[in-house]
Chains A and B, each alone.
Chain A
């Protein structure tokens, strides 16, 4: 009894302190439910093991204290990346190997995929290792895709197409298996033929042959583009030339005939005189330039009468109209006087 009263007394004495401690620990216990979600995070609230909210926005929040509720805070805006090599590694490692194309060629590549968490709940609870699953799904997509393309498509034209369709495919598979992620990019890096046994250089030489082909065609086309306009301009100038010529001869003919007619109209008024004058003018024009040898056939030839000259005489007389004697004499005398 005495003991008890001692205990009671002591207890009584400490009662406010104990009550204070209990109250304080209750406050702390209640306050343990306060949590902060950082801007790059989303809060996932779990009540008795069940996810009740996986989209708690950044800020200060409260959950029921343990053991009722707990919170996980995955970084959902963080971009995660995964590099998946497709390279020859001596055939030992199943983790990577060259890709087979549809025409039984091999290519190496590295696939870089990036993703963010889209569904925190799925990301956290639906697979044991989202990265491992995602990696395998990507490998599967790539194998399937490359096995249906030719190596030329893969190496030249197909890269963008491959990236786009891989992204679509892998995203579809990821959704199907509820990985809770969203792919932000799929990049094919360093796609190249195998370097062993001179394969790579053979591929390069095809590329340069293709360039060469292109260049030959371009050169020929360039030459064509130079030659065609040149020949068109040649043709044009030939035509203009011909037109000019045509105009020229017509104008010349008109000029000549006008001149002829003018002269002829005057000539008609004094035929004999004019003809002879024209004749002499022509002779004057020619004679000074030409060497002259004047012979007297009558004197040189044995023939006494100078018969050969007679037809010439006549011819001259025929071709020239009657020449006024006085006219000729005037000229001759002038010439002689010079």
Chain B
């Protein structure tokens, strides 16, 4: 019976030592081991580690994962005195557990410090740039990455030195105009659009007129040159016919005159014509004086 109890005792001690001397470190944790309250080492690799039993060495577990917090929505003034409403987010993780615990204690404290820090750095940085550094239609001219990188750089150094925090990045999650400016912005947008609409309509008319007049020009030019060609062809034909006529008629101009004149009589004397004929005309020679038989 006593022997059994002794066994129980031994087992309990072994179990206790196992549970307190072996520490499981998860992937998402940083473990700080302290000896009588003073830190002895930081474990940043997941797996099983050993330490002295509990009253001697204790374990503090911290989250090593990347976290995101948002800064408050703030109104900032650019160098050319334009208001911008900006909210940033900060990606951070615990870098130095000891410093972290000593300076900010927990995540809440850390977040508040980071928000304050980034807010003031953002304000300072934005004041150095004009609005066109933020808003530009030429993507080569945008300075936004440069601005946030400089803010990140400054915050990173300070957060690392003072809070044991690694600032991975400070970026914007909101960029806008202040609410009280919206009406003016909308009005400007509308005016711009109305101007564009007018421009499009005018351009349309202009383009159509241009096409029409170009068409007119081409049609007229084509008809004119066609007329020229046609006349030349006609002329050639007529010249040829003149030559042919002349060649034929030259053989006996008198006979030509006779036949042609007679032919033309048939054409221009019609039933509206009144011929006043002299009875002494040769035509009536035999009418008045019959031939002597």
Residues on A lying within 8 angstroms of B by beta carbon are 4, 7, 46-51, 67, 88, 90-91, 94, 97-106, 121, 124-129, 132-133, 136-137, 139-140, 143-144, 147-151, 153, 177-178, 193-194, 196-199, 202-203, 205-206, 208-210, 212-217, 219-221, 223-224, 227-228, 231-232, 234-235, 238-239, 241-243, 245-250, 252-254, 256-258, 260-261, 263-264, 267-268, 275, 278-279, 281-283, 285-287, 289-298, 306, 309, 312-313, 316-317, 319-320, 323, 325-326, 328-329, 332-333, 336
Contact present for B173 and A94 (CB under 8 Å) = yes
* Chain B interfacial positions (CB closer than 8 Å to A): 1, 24-29, 45-48, 63, 65-68, 70, 72-73, 85, 87, 89, 91, 131, 134-139, 141-142, 144-145, 168, 171-179, 182-183, 185-190, 192-194, 196-198, 200-201, 203-205, 207-212, 214-215, 218-219, 222-223, 225-227, 229-231, 233-234, 236-238, 240-242, 244-245, 247-249, 251-252, 255-256, 258-259, 262-263, 265-266, 269-271, 273-288, 290-291
User: Are the CB atoms of A290 and B24 closer together than 8 Å?
Assistant: no
Contact A228 B278 (CB under 8 A): no
Is B174 a contact partner of A149 (Cβ separation < 8 A)? no
Write out the residue numbers on chain A whose beta carbons fall within 8 Å of the beta carbon of B68: 127-129, 132-133, 136
From known contacts A128-B65, A148-B139, infer whether A212 and B29 are also in contact, taking CB-CB under 8 Å.
Answer: no
By the criterion CB–CB under 8 Å, are A177 and B91 in contact? yes
A260 touches B262 (CB 8 A): no
With A206-B193, A242-B233: A286-B269 Cβ-Cβ less than 8 Å: yes
Contact between chains at B174 and A139 (CB < 8 Å): yes
* A-chain residues with CB within 8 Å of residue B65 when the two chains form the complex: 125-128
The dominant DSSP class at the B interface is: helix
With beta carbons under 8 angstroms apart, the residue of B219, B245, B255, B282 that contacts A256 is B245
A239 and B269 form a contact (CB under 8 A): no
Report A-chain residues with C-beta under 8 Å of the C-beta of B288: 296
Give A4 to B4 CA distance when docked, in angstroms.
12
- 25 contacting pairs across A/B (C-beta < 8 A): A67-B24, A94-B73, A104-B131, A121-B27, A125-B28, A128-B67, A129-B67, A129-B68, A193-B189, A205-B194, A213-B204, A216-B204, A223-B211, A238-B223, A246-B240, A260-B248, A261-B248, A264-B255, A275-B258, A286-B269, A291-B274, A293-B276, A296-B279, A319-B258, A329-B286
